[in-house]
Structure formats: structure tokens, C-alpha cells
Copies of this chain bind each other. A is one copy, B any other.
């Protein structure tokens, strides 16, 4: 069930196995294994896949037929703006860190924030990637 759903929605999102693999930090072989039922993703990977594909784990597992992410109300996401899926994944993981590592993550973000400021208010030029 998961295998069919995963392949279906990956194609629907216009991603290759390699592309999806990169988003969730694994290899194309592993994605292929999922899609052919040779293995099943861990819970953490399942979450990451749902994030990367903008769907729900219930959809991937076949508990619902709704493939969109409408029920998404995670506490640290705001409904207003588009968010980098990779960033979402990173922060979900960070929320499970030890206190010490969480603090380090926050400190580093704050450091980056200062750097952004220092660069001067510049309108983001999306000429990359």
C-alpha cells in the first residue's frame, strides 16, 4: 500500500527517485526499495517523506485518500507563508534534540540572523538554484 502511494505521489509532484532521495537524505536505491515493497521506511523517514511530498503519513499508509496536506497544523509552522520543506524537516528533528544541542541550534540561527542584518537590508535575489 505504501509502495503504490509513494510512487504515485512522487510522480504527481514531478520528482525523480534521485530527487526525492536527496530531499530526505537517502539514496535512490532506498527509495526504489520502498516503492517496490522490498523494505519500508522508518517512522522518521515516513515523516520526512510526507513533508517532502507535502502529504500526510495517513495518506502514505493508506488510511485516507486525501493526498493533500490540509490537516497540517504543526505548532511551529505558520499558515501564512511558504516554508522550505528541508527547513521544516530540520526543525522537526531539532525539536527532539537534547537541551544542549537545541540551544546550539538556536545560537547558530541567531548568529546567522546577525549576519543577514549586517549584510544590509537586501531584497532576496532568487537567481540561484
Contacts and interface: CB of A to CB of B under 8 A. Distances in A.
A95 B84 contact: yes
Interface residues of A, number: 64
A116 B87 contact: no
Contacts of A61: 43, 46-47, 57
26 contacts: A1-B96, A25-B110, A43-B43, A46-B57, A50-B63, A57-B57, A57-B63, A58-B58, A63-B74, A64-B71, A66-B73, A71-B71, A75-B77, A75-B79, A75-B88, A76-B79, A87-B106, A90-B110, A91-B91, A91-B94, A94-B112, A97-B116, A99-B128, A101-B112, A101-B115, A101-B116
Interface of A: 1-2, 25, 40-43, 46-47, 50-51, 56-58, 61-66, 70-79, 81, 83-84, 86-88, 90-102, 104-106, 108-110, 112-113, 115-116, 119, 124, 126, 128-129
